[in-house]
Structure 1
Amino acid sequence: MLNRTTLARPYARAVFEVARDAGRLAEWSNSLSFAAAVASSPDIQQFSGDPRVGREQLLALIMDLGGDRFDESMANFLKVLMNYDRLELLPEIAAQYEFYRREAEARLKVQVSSAMPMSDEESDRLVERLKARFGRDIDLQVDVDESLIGGAVIRAGDQVIDGSVRGRLEQLGRQLAR
């Protein structure tokens, strides 16, 4: 059995290409994000597994919930997912779509785990430094993780920069163990 990422990739790629060609990357991003939240809700999951609820009924419910967020293209995309029993892949499709979008827009998602909350000024300085280092615009997400003791851990793509006190203590412990 293929994993969810592998199954979602062709759908995400196709949606990205349609959105890019139409010049509607942001609109599709919003639609997919909302559709993924709807599809992963327990109520929708319960309905999708109920044999008494047909695909048309489920699609109509999702379209009603989406309202004006979903245009005809999105409705057609949802129909395709339902026909192939892939509705549960929407969260993964949305995540992969965002990856393709960031690549096309030369943006990099950076996850920062900080021991203490960062001020807006600190966040802005960090964004500028990361922008200079990676040569791309930065989408910064900051979380607080008190277990770091001090400092921060920065995850940018496949790179990890560990400037935390906990990381330094672990490194010191490994060196002493040699």
Structure 2
Amino acid sequence: MAELTTIARPYAKAAFEYALGAQTVSEWASMLDFVAQAVSNNDVANIISNPSLSAEQKGEVILKISEGQITDKVENFIKLLARNHRLEALPAIKVRFDVLKADYDKAVEVEVTSAAALSDDQLQRLTEKLTAKLGRKVNIQTQVDSSMIGGLVIKAGDMVIDGSVRGKLNKLSETLRA
């Protein structure tokens, strides 16, 4: 089982990253679930493990079963798995894909402190940048602290990004004292 999990990890990651980029994560999850269930069927599992069939033939069996249930991209993914003799890893790929999806769906709470209130446009751009940097959804809570002079302080979990003028002046002061 550990071997299948190891095999599944890069395939699940690649599928998830593609689905995330195409904004089709839920659809991919459903299609992978369908295909993984098909592969888990005893009759289909026997076909996949049959050494007298070529990898292409095994892939075609899965594609026939999945006809009308999967997109062209998932079909190509299954062909890739068949070509690499990895069809038996489909259930493990689905499990790993679900783990990645669950991790991504968790939103991170971000506290942003600024010297002045942020405009809607600034808040939207900041949300986009943080989502890209953190690799997950962000919920931003804003605070205004006029003593900062300018800039932002961003806190997300145990990560702190101090881009404030006050923070930069403090660093400069420490450097000059050293």
TM-score by length of 1: 0.55
Structure 1 stretches of 5 or more lacking a match? 108-178
Does the 8 Å CA contact 1:39/1:88 hold for their aligned counterparts?
Answer: yes
Query: Are residue 106 (structure 1) and residue 106 (structure 2) matched?
Result: yes
2:33 paired residue number: 33
Deviations 1:40-62 (A, max 9, x none): 21111211222343333322221
Does the 8 Å CA contact 1:9/1:96 hold for their aligned counterparts?
Answer: yes
Higher alpha-carbon Rg = 2
Identity %: 31
1:45 paired residue number: 45
1:174 paired residue number: none
Deviations 1:109-154 (A, max 9, x none): xxxxxxxxxxxxxxxxxxxxxxxxxxxxxxxxxxxxxxxxxxxxxx
Does the 8 Å CA contact 2:32/2:94 hold for their aligned counterparts?
Answer: yes
Corresponding pairs, count: 107
Deviations 1:65-95 (A, max 9, x none): 1122211111111111111111111111101
Query: Segments of 4+ in structure 1 off by > 3 A?
Result: none
Taking the aligned partners of 1:47 and 1:15, their CA distance within structure 2 comes to 24
Structure 2 stretches of 5 or more lacking a match? 108-178
2:7 paired residue number: 7
2:77 paired residue number: 77
Taking the aligned partners of 2:48 and 2:65, their CA distance within structure 1 comes to 15
